[in-house]
Amino acid sequence: MSTTTEQGAKAPPRPRRELPPLMRLTEAAADRLRALYAEGEQGRLLRIGVKTKGCSGLAYDLSWTESPAPTDEKVTDQGVTVLIDRKASLFLIGSVMDYERKALSAGFTFTNPNEKGRCGCGESFHV
């Protein structure tokens, strides 16, 4: 839709505002991924998706791939690249991926502003 000025001339189009990043990585997540990429997963990329699972309906799905699929979105943050399955992108917009070490476990975690709730065991979420 174009607008016109009082003299009938077309107004210049509004500049598009930049979209927020699809996903960000914390320094801990980036460091862990750098280590994984340098060691056993050299030459591969981490693909992040969402699948139907658990009590609440959705769960994060992490897998390794040799190359991006045509439907993957590339996210590069802190010098590290991950792939986002395009089918999961609407569920992940604005998420932050972290890597946490606890007394008995370690792994990637997600802070997702789209989550409306989680199941009691923490395995799944819903939006």
User: Per residue in 44-92, pLDDT tens?
Assistant: 999 999 887 656 577 888 999 999 999 999 999 999 999 999 988 888 8
Full set of structural domains in the chain with CATH = 23-117 (2.60.300.12)
Q: What pTM value is reported for the model?
A: 0.74
With a cut of 80, say whether residue 115 has pLDDT above it. Answer: no
Nearest to 50 by CA among 86, 82, 26, 19: 86
Structure tokens that stand for 31 in this block: 């460091």
